[in-house]
Amino acid sequence: MIAMLLMSPSADADTASRPNVLFILCDDLRPDAVGCLGSKHVKTPHIDAVAADGVCFTNSFCTTSLCSPSRASILTGLYAHAHGVRNNFTELPANLATWPGRLQQEGYETAYIGKWHMGEGNDSPRPGFDWFVSHKGQGKYFDTEWNVNGQRRETPAGYYTTVVTDYCLDWLGQQQDKPWALCLGHKAPHSFYFPEPKYEHAFDDVTVRYPASAFALETQPDWIKQRLPTWHGIYGPLFDWRKKFPDRRPEAVTDFQRMVRAYW
């Protein structure tokens, strides 16, 4: 899920034509886990407010449903076959134009803060950004080592969502005269699911059931069946319970429920 907010710093004609841009990216957030899109259990008041005050696209599609290719498409406006990032290990080519880079050329102060995830082992600052704070690969919900604009490395205490938000607030507090564009890349709610401790038991009383589609695999096309044992298939290696999904054993049901509650 993505959100883009355009905020004019004043009523001045020049600044009104050059609004500040705040771009927020949530990682692997399902539409049925968003309040304004019909979630029965998950409360997302801030996302709901953005949707209510702006435009909520309910008929949009991901052209390449994989992390890094999607990130590259969001920044460049190109399909995966055009930008060249076709897996989760390829870096975004430095020569490609991005919308933050275009704004930088027009006098904007630009920053990317958070999960980048285009190139597993490289957390160096990228072209198009005056300020770049990120980490290698996926990062962790706790104890992530951050590369702060190539100037220093640090491992702040606290939950990822709070840490990355604090980095953003610090940067925003330094902005004065120039219009700015800030990209905020959250890690949550990407697997593996480790909720912030204060929310760990928020859904203990909610009944979680297997989706109906889990029991209709025999009617699916061959290409879906062939993908089941792969990394992103439901029998893949990410979670032990998926080795025999759906599994009605009590311990398997408990594992599934625990995973869904942690995701929420």
Provide the 8-state DSSP code for 142.
B
Nearest CA to 1 out of 255, 186, 191 is that of 186
pLDDT at position 232 over 80: no
Residue 254's pLDDT is what? 83
From residue 176, give the alpha-carbon distance in Å to each of 106, 143, 154, 171, 179: 16, 31, 26, 11, 8
- Which one is catalytic: 83, 117, 135, 186? 117
Task: Name which residue leads in pLDDT, 243 or 253.
Answer: 253
- Indicate if 83 belongs to the active site: no
- Indicate if 183 belongs to the active site: no
- Separation between Cα atoms, residue 136 and residue 145, nearest integer Å: 8
How far is C-alpha 106 from the geometric centre of its chain's CA atoms? 27
Residue-range domains of the chain with CATH: 2-185 (3.40.720.10), 206-263 (no CATH)
Sign of CA dihedral 25, 27, 30, 34: negative
- Which one is catalytic: 26, 67, 168, 183? 67
Interval 49-105: pLDDT, tens: 999 999 999 898 889 988 999 999 999 999 999 999 999 999 999 999 999 999 999
pLDDT at position 10 over 50: no
